[in-house]
Structure 1
Amino acid sequence: MPITDLVERARALAVPGGRSILGITGAPGAGKSTVAAEIVDALGPDTAVLVAMDGYHLANVVLEALGRRDRKGAHDTFDAAGYVGLLVRLHRSARGGPGAAETVYAPEFRREIEEPIGSAVPVPPDVPLVVTEGNYLLLDHGAWPRARALLDAVWYLAPGEDIRQDRLVRRHQAFGKSPADAWAWALGTDQRNADLIAATAHRADLVVRVT
């Protein structure tokens, strides 16, 4: 599906005076951040803001204490309940109730340091569409179903496996992994996560075949 079609679908969700939240999900390397950014850029800052689920990665020191550092990116290496709290605030800031008409500051994940940074993305109350992207928006256990309930629509990106894995390896290398380590992570931790995420695709409102 052309990105122009996705932009127009997203534009239909952006109703002035309200707030919709569009989720974009898929396996690691599916192109979530790229598609989400292109949609937000096309709609403009007065219409849409991008807030990524990756801002709720647990810090490395926490993952090490929990014994999960070697599988960072798995569903239990995120503060899912914290992400749910953000989605609640994003709705309230535009729709009335406690915290209405306030700018919400969301965290973001910085790949260059492999850590989340708090209060890095301002979301003004008059922006009608928030686009959020992440791996586990359709997962059916833990706090993730509560996150899904707060999303007005969720789109699942489904590229070919060769495309997805090539993107992953190139991304890992770009941020410092050797070719061997990049492939090992892509075919190990990333692939286990991808298999789990693929099983959630049927819950999406739209499956986008990416070429």
Structure 2
Amino acid sequence: MTLDALARRAASLVPEEGGRAILGICGEPGAGKTTLAEQILERLRSAHGADWAAHVPMDGFHLADVQLARLGLLDRKGAPETFDADGYAALLGRIASGAGSVVYAPGFERRLEQPLAAAIAVPPEARLIITEGNYLLLGEAPWAAARARLREVWYLDAEPVTRVDRLIRRHIEFGKDPERAREWVLRSDEANARLIRAGRDSADYVIAAQDCTD
């Protein structure tokens, strides 16, 4: 499906009578979720105005390294238990309510590999919010509470070799040496990928990454 068609489908989720819709984009690590979200967002803003759509990634709810170390989870960073899933679901609830004021959300700084408080502002005019992350289709608590806030969840299906190569390059770019980057991807990221892939069939729509065209 073309990116323009995906943007039209996303826009159609917004209720005509007013209010907001939240679209989730899920997929394995390295699938290209952020890129797809930003491409759709660009088209929505071009068609409807700069404040009509907003992007709130799940990555801002990574637990900080100090907490991961306390919990003994530093070597599992990126696994479901290394996120504040309750906080993520609560934020989606605030966004969905459309209370008429700016909602601030945390972002994630990849060079620091740490969340940043209030890095993202969702304007009150926003009608469609795109959120993307690994565990939107994880059916167990507390992730199910986040899923309940989403009008649809799309699954971005990427070719495995391309996805793994992209992940290794990303880890190298942000500070890991090549050997450590490869070990991390094959041990940690791919363990998470298998868990994420198990939820693919519960998505509202499956997108083949190679078919996303201009």
TM-score (norm. length: structure 1): 0.94
Q: Which residue of 2 aligns with 1:97?
A: none
Q: What's 2:36 paired with?
A: 35
1:4 aligns with 2:4: yes
Please tell me the residue identity of whatever aligns with 1:40.
L
Partner amino acid for 2:114? E
Q: Which residue of 2 aligns with 1:162?
A: 161
Partner amino acid for 2:76? Answer: R
Aligned partner letter, 2:143: W
| 2:66 equivalent in structure 1 | 61
In 2: Cα distance, 1:15 partner to 1:140 partner: 25
Taking the aligned partners of 1:141 and 1:51, their CA distance within structure 2 comes to 22
| Number of residue pairs aligned between Structure 1 and Structure 2 | 205
Q: CA deviation at 1:28?
A: 0.2
* Cα shift at 1:46: 2.2
Query: Is residue 106 of structure 1 aligned with residue 111 of structure 2?
Result: no
Report deviation, 1:14. Answer: 3.5
- Map Cα deviations across residues 31-85 of structure 1 (whole Å, 9 max, x no partner): 0011011111221122210000010000100000000001100000000000010
* Counterparts of 1:163 and 1:8, CA distance in 2: 27
Q: Secondary structure at the match of 1:40?
A: helix
Amino acid at match of 1:80: A
Equivalent of 1:75, from 70, 74, 80?
Answer: 80
Residue 188 of structure 1 aligns to a residue whose secondary structure is: helix
Classify the secondary structure of the residue corresponding to 2:126.
Answer: coil
TM-score computed with the length of structure 2 as normaliser: 0.93
Give RMSD over aligned pairs: 1.1
Moved more, 151-160 or 8-17: 8-17
For 2:91, which of 65, 81, 86 is the aligned residue?
86
Distance 1:179 1:33 in 2: 23
Gaps of 5+ in 1: 95-99
Q: How big is the shift at 1:15?
A: 4.4
| Alignment-derived partner of residue 127 in structure 2 | 128
Percent of paired sites with the same residue: 50
Residue equivalent to 1:201: 200
2:165, 2:8 → 1: CA distance? 29
Q: 1:79-126, CA deviations, whole angstroms, 9 ceiling, x for partnerless residues?
A: 00000100010011x2xxxxx211100110110111001111111122
Partner amino acid, structure 2, of 1:39 = I
Report the Cα offset of residue 13 of structure 1: 2.0
**Alpha-carbon separation, structure 2, partners of 1:120 and 1:210:** 28
Inter-partner Cα distance in structure 2 for 1:78 and 1:180: 26
Contact 1:14–1:47 under 8 Å retained in 2: no
| 16-25 or 201-210: bigger deviation | 16-25
Q: Any idea what SS the aligned residue of 2:56 has?
A: strand
* Partner residue, 1:180: 179
